[in-house]
């Protein structure tokens, strides 16, 4: 284990506005953002990005939008979404990013709770806004990313930009980095919406800390696939590359990721563990189909490890060039966030020559708190604290496990107009993450699970469902799972699981064995898989009952299961 690796020196910025101005000065003629779909503004260099920001911001001012007004942005990932965000930051407005996958009621509630006076949107949402306009009297301006001209009080973003004289960058408003800059609602449910307040200082601090641990180069090309409204993708997948002079390319869809990786020859991909799990299973499925290759894959991996030890660092990329070519041939690193990845998937991808790192954080921390490094990592850990982040374990048990507390310049200002929630989530200056974990002897943070999800066994032991789910999901026959506590008359609370099966694996089983897929076959196979999993755990963590689901679980935008929506009653 390498220790005390120095941090990289990075440019100092005090706000997102400052970051944009510096990058435009350094990388004026370099590509900054590109849409792989056909859109009104498909690509911009750093210079033209700043010019569009100056024009759009001046146009918003002319509409009557005042500094510190709250402006919502909703839509699919694209250049104009990023441009809108950067404009609002640069002109001292407050950004309200809205989850594009929310229902109508949730969207309307967030617009109400955030006190947004204007909204910038893609054409998907225009019918809704026209229909609900009468009930949203607080919204004064509707700005479409797709409309070509102004009509019936709805403005065209491109027309506003094209007709605006813009302003000189020296005339941009002064930014107080400590002021509220963005409100992110992590839930849109009526009466339950909770808006995380971040400042430009919060975000700038996180940018500098992240890049000082994980260097991004101007030559890097990021493929953006996660929803851009989410702080993980917004900060790490959009602002970080722009801070470092790299380019961001917006994927056409989740179904086209492999083709899009090849098209842009991406060097970086930020994704959630579920995507990497599917990628890894697909790699091994392909290997399995080539029986000769499958038989020698382990010796090939061992051989490349020997070659790396004697100095041939690129041996894995040469030996496994077919796999690398599938992902564009230029991947420098896969980055996982949003949830803990399976350590075996991380190790497996690394065995094929892909760098793989994971980080940990929350919306409330802008978001990253800890990060593994390319040259100092543990696949089963959430990483080391960023340079200006302090981590401690609150009220640890004898094994050192307790709630993870954090103190950092990236920690939120609080929850919007919710003093009680803000007070409840802080212990003095320390932010209580709600996650449970421990810090090992090398300073790496390990996350055991969410405090609210813990199951108390009959023996009084804490069981974290995430730990069991990680092992369950390694089965080729299990697409996803959710572990929970179930009441038992004899044993109190026991471990139960709901399973979504992998249809592709069962079809392959049916064709290779000549058997018909029936509910009985599915239950028999899953029962066998659960027995295998149970052998890996002490008795108090073993699954006592399971149920096969017909539908996949509802998930958040970072592909975490919405546990509260799952019916666990018999």
Say how far apart CA 104 and CA 79 lie, in whole Å: 24
Share of the chain above pLDDT 70, in %: 94
Q: What is the pLDDT of residues 163-191, one digit of tens each?
A: 999 999 999 999 999 999 999 997 655 55
List residues bridging with 185 in a β-sheet: 195
Instruction: Judge whether 229 and 215 are in contact, CB under 8 Å.
Output: no
Calpha distance 52→41 (Å, rounded):
10
The CA distance from 31 to 218, in Å, is 10
**44, containing H or E segment:** strand 43-45
SS3 for 99?
Answer: coil
pLDDT exceeds 90 at position 288? no
The CATH fold assigned to 16-267 is Rossmann fold (3.40.50)
Look at the block and give the residue holding tokens 């006190």.
115
435: Cβ contacts below 8 Å, ≥ 6 apart: 403, 404, 447, 448, 449, 450, 451
- pLDDT value, residue 293: 57
CATH fold group of domain 271-329+331-451: Rossmann fold (3.40.50)
Helix ranges, 124-268 (H): 126-132, 157-163, 200-213, 231, 240-244, 257-264
Q: pLDDT at position 186, please?
A: 76
Greater confidence (527 vs 187) lies with 527
Spatial separation of the C-alpha atoms in residues 18 and 239, rounded to whole Å = 12
Q: What is the pLDDT of residue 455?
A: 87
The pLDDT of residue 308 is above 80: no
Tens of pLDDT, residues 151-163: 888 999 999 999 9
Q: Where are the chain's structural domains?
A: 16-267, 271-329+331-451, 456-565
Note the pLDDT tens digit of each residue in 432-443.
999 999 999 999
What does the pLDDT read at residue 474?
Answer: 92
Q: What is the pLDDT of residue 486?
A: 87
Across the range 19-41, mean pLDDT stands at: 98
Q: How far apart are CA 449 and CA 75, in angstroms?
A: 31
Burial class (CB in 10 A: 0-12, 13-18, 19+), 319: middle
User: Mean of the pLDDT values across residues 547-564?
Assistant: 87
Q: Is the pLDDT of residue 1 over 60?
A: no
Three-state secondary structure string covering 332-358? CEEEECCCCCCHHHHHHHHHCCCCEEE
Mean pLDDT of 130-146: 94
Least confident of 56-60, 113-117, 485-489: 485-489
For the segment 390-413, the average pLDDT, to the nearest whole number, is 96
pLDDT of residue 294: 54
How are the residues of the chain apportioned to helix, strand and coil, as percentages rounded to the nearest 5?
A: 40, 25, 35
Residue 557 pLDDT > 80:
no
Indicate the CATH number of 456-565 among 3.90.105.10, 3.30.300.30, 3.40.50.720, 2.60.120.620.
3.30.300.30
Lowest mean pLDDT among 127-141, 184-198, 455-469: 184-198
User: Where residue 430 falls among pLDDT bands split at 50, 70, 90?
Assistant: very high
pLDDT value for 190: 52
Q: Are the C-beta atoms of 204 and 240 separated by less than 8 Å?
A: no
| pLDDT attached to residue 400 | 94
pLDDT score, position 188: 52
Q: Which two tokens stand for residue 384?
A: 């080391």
Q: In whole angstroms, what is the distance from residue 43 CA to residue 36 CA?
A: 9
| Strand 430-439 versus strand 390-394 pairing type | unpaired
Q: Which pLDDT score is estimated for 25?
A: 98
Digit-coded pLDDT (tens) for 79-109: 999 999 999 999 999 999 999 988 898 899 9
Q: Please, are residues 522 and 501 in contact by the beta-carbon 8 Å criterion?
A: yes
pLDDT of residue 3: 61
Res. 213: pLDDT tops 60 = yes
Residue 457: pLDDT band by 50, 70, 90 thresholds?
confident
Decide: 526 and 533 in contact? Cβ < 8 Å.
Answer: no
Per-residue model confidence (pLDDT) at position 422: 95
CA distances from 458 to 400, 483, 530 (A): 22, 16, 21
| Alpha-helical runs (H) found in 414-565 | 419-424, 465-472, 503-513, 519-534
Residue 154 φ/ψ, nearest 5 degrees: -100, 125
Q: Which two tokens stand for residue 204?
A: 């700038």
Residue 377 has pLDDT above 90, yes or no: yes
Among the ranges given (234-238, 314-318, 331-335, 421-425), the one the predictor scored with the smallest mean pLDDT: 314-318
Residues 357 and 340: their CA atoms lie apart, in Å, by: 11
Determine the pLDDT at residue 461: 82
Pinpoint the alpha helices (H) of 231-290.
231, 240-244, 257-264, 273-289
pLDDT of residue 285: 77
Q: Is residue 316 very low, low, confident or very high in pLDDT (cuts 50, 70, 90)?
A: confident
Does residue 112 surpass a pLDDT of 80? yes
User: Above pLDDT 90, what percent of the chain?
Assistant: 74
CA distance 345 to 225: 20
For the CA atoms of the chain, what is the radius of gyration?
25
Structure tokens at 254: 């989740």
pLDDT at 199: 98
Least confident of 132-146, 299-313, 408-422, 495-509: 299-313
pLDDT at 491: 67
Nearest to 6 by CA among 268, 443, 373: 373
Residue 277, token pair as written in the block: 């799990």
Provide the token pair at 191: 């009466």
**Residue 465 to residue 454: CA distance in whole angstroms:** 7
Tokens 């990005």 belong to 49
* Residue, of 303 and 154, whose pLDDT is higher: 154
| Residue 291 binned pLDDT confidence (cut-offs 50, 70, 90) | low
What's the chain's average pLDDT? Answer: 92
3-class secondary-structure state, position 292 = helix
Q: Are domains 16-267 and 456-565 of this chain identical in fold? A: no
Give the residue with greater pLDDT, 158 vs 150: 158
- Banded model confidence at residue 386, pLDDT cuts 50, 70, 90: very high
Which residue has better confidence, 306 or 39?
A: 39
């Amino acid at each position: 284990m390498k220790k005390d690796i120095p941090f990289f020196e990075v440019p100092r910025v005090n706000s997102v506005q400052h970051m944009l101005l510096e990058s435009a000065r350094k990388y004026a003629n370099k590509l900054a953002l590109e849409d792989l779909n056909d859109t009104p503004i498909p690509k911009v260099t750093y210079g033209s990005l700043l010019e569009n920001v100056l024009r759009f911001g001046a146009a918003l001012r002319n509409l009557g939008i005042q500094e510190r007004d709250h402006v919502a942005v909703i839509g699919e990932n694209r250049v104009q979404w990023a441009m809108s965000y950067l404009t609002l930051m640069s002109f001292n407005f407050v950004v309200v990013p809205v989850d594009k996958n929310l229902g109508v009621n949730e969207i309307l509630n967030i617009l109400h709770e955030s006190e947004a006076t204007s909204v910038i949107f893609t054409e998907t949402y225009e019918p809704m806004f026209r229909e609900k306009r009468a009930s949203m009297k607080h919204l004064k301006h509707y700005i479409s990313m797709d409309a070509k001209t102004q009509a019936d009080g709805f403005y065209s973003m491109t027309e506003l930009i094209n007709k605006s004289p813009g302003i000189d960058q020296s005339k941009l408003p002064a930014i107080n980095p400590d002021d509220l800059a963005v409100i992110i609602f992590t839930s849109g449910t009526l009466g339950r919406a909770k808006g995380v307040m971040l400042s430009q200082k919060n975000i700038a601090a996180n940018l500098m800390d992240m890049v000082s641990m994980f260097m991004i180069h101007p030559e890097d090309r990021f493929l953006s696939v996660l929803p851009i409204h989410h702080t993980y993708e917004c900060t790490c997948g959009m602002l970080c590359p722009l801070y470092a002079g790299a380019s961001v390319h917006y994927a056409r869809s989740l179904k086209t990721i492999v083709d899009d990786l090849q098209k842009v020859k991406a060097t970086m991909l930020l994704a959630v563990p579920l995507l990497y799990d599917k990628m890894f299973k697909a790699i091994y499925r392909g290997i399995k189909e080539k029986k000769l290759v499958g038989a020698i894959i382990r010796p090939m991996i061992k051989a490349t490890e020997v070659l790396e030890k004697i100095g041939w660092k690129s041996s894995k990329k040469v030996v496994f060039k077919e796999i690398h070519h599938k992902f564009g041939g230029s991947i420098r690193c896969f980055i996982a966030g949003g949830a803990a990845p399976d350590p075996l998937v991380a190790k497996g991808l690394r065995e094929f020559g892909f760098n793989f790192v994971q980080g940990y954080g929350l919306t409330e921390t802008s978001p990253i708190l800890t990060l593994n490094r390319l040259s100092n990592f543990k696949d089963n850990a959430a990483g080391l604290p960023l340079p200006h982040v302090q981590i401690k374990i609150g009220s640890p048990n004898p094994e050192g496990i307790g709630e993870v507390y954090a103190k950092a310049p990236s920690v939120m200002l609080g929850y919007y107009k919710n003093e009680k929630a803000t007070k409840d989530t802080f212990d003095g200056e320390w932010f209580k993450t709600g996650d449970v974990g421990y810090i090992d002897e090398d300073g790496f943070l390990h996350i055991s699970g969410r405090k609210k999800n813990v199951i108390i066994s009959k023996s009084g032991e804490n069981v974290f469902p995430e730990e069991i789910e990680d092992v369950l999901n390694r089965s080729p026959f299990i697409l996803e799972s959710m572990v929970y506590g179930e009441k038992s008359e004899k044993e109190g609370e026991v471990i139960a699981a709901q399973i979504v099966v992998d249809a592709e694996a069962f079809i392959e089983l049916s064709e290779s064995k000549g058997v018909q897929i029936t509910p009985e076959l599915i239950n028999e196979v899953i029962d066998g898989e659960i027995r295998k999993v149970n052998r890996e755990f002490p008795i108090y963590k073993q699954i006592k009952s399971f149920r096969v689901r017909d539908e996949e679980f509802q998930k958040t935008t970072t592909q975490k299961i919405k546990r509260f929506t799952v019916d666990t009653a018999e």
